[in-house]
Amino acid sequence: METTFLIGNGFDVCMGMNTRYKDFYEFYSKLPTNNLSPSLKTFREAIADYVCKGMKCDKNEIDWSDLEFALGQYSAELTASEQFINIVLDVNRELSEYIGEQDRQFQIDEGVAAHLYKDFCNPDRQPFLSYVDSQSFANFKRGLGSENIHIVNFNYTNTIEKIRNAYKSKTVLGNSGGYAAEVKDIIHIHSQIGVDKAILVGVNDPSQIANDKFRTNQDVLDVVVKPESNKMFGNGKSSQVKHLLNSSQLVVLFGLSLGETDKLWWEYIGSLLVKQRIRLLYFAYDNPAEEEPLRLGKRSRDFRKKFCDAAGIPEEQRSTVDSLIYISYNTPLFTIPESPKGI
- The reported pLDDT for the residue numbered 289 is 59
**Which of the residue ranges 166-175, 188-197, 206-215, 311-320 would you say has the lowest mean pLDDT?**
166-175
* β-pairing verdict for 250-254 and 2-7: parallel
Which residue, among 230, 263, 251, has the nearest Cα to 150 in the 3D structure?
A: 251
How does the average pLDDT of the chain come out, rounded? 90
Q: What average pLDDT does range 148-154 have in this prediction?
A: 96
User: How large a percentage of the chain has pLDDT more than 90?
Assistant: 69
All structural domains of the chain, each given as residue ranges with its CATH number in brackets, are: 2-15+108-196+235-329 (3.40.50), 21-104+199-231 (no CATH)
Question: 256-298: per-residue pLDDT in tens?
Answer: 999 999 999 999 999 999 998 899 999 998 877 566 778 788 8
Least confident of 31-40, 59-68, 133-142, 239-248: 133-142
pLDDT band at 343 (very low <50, low <70, confident <90, very high): very low
Task: Give pLDDT, residue 49.
Answer: 81
Residue 335 has pLDDT above 70, yes or no: yes
Residue 161, pLDDT above cutoff 90: yes
Range from 23-27, 287-291, 303-307 carrying the lowest mean pLDDT: 287-291
pLDDT in tens, 41-62: 999 988 888 787 655 577 677 8
Handedness of CA 25, 31, 37, 42 (dihedral sign): positive
Give the other-Cβ count within 10 Å of 234's Cβ: 7
User: What's the pLDDT band for 91 if we cut at 50, 70, 90?
Assistant: very high
Asked if residues 208 and 69 have their Cβ atoms less than 8 Å apart, the reply is yes
Dihedrals phi, psi of 6, to nearest 5 degrees: -110, 120
Instruction: Over range 118-128, report the average pLDDT.
Output: 85
Neighbours of 5 (CB within 10 A): 25
What confidence score (pLDDT) does residue 125 get?
78
User: Which of 6-20, 44-58, 61-75 shows the highest mean pLDDT?
Assistant: 6-20
Going by C-alpha positions, the residue among 56, 108, 54 that lies closest to residue 77 is 54
Q: What is the pTM of this model?
A: 0.92
The rounded Cα 202 to chain-centroid distance in angstroms is 14
Given a contact cutoff of 8 angstroms between Cβ atoms, the answer to whether 129 and 180 are in contact is no
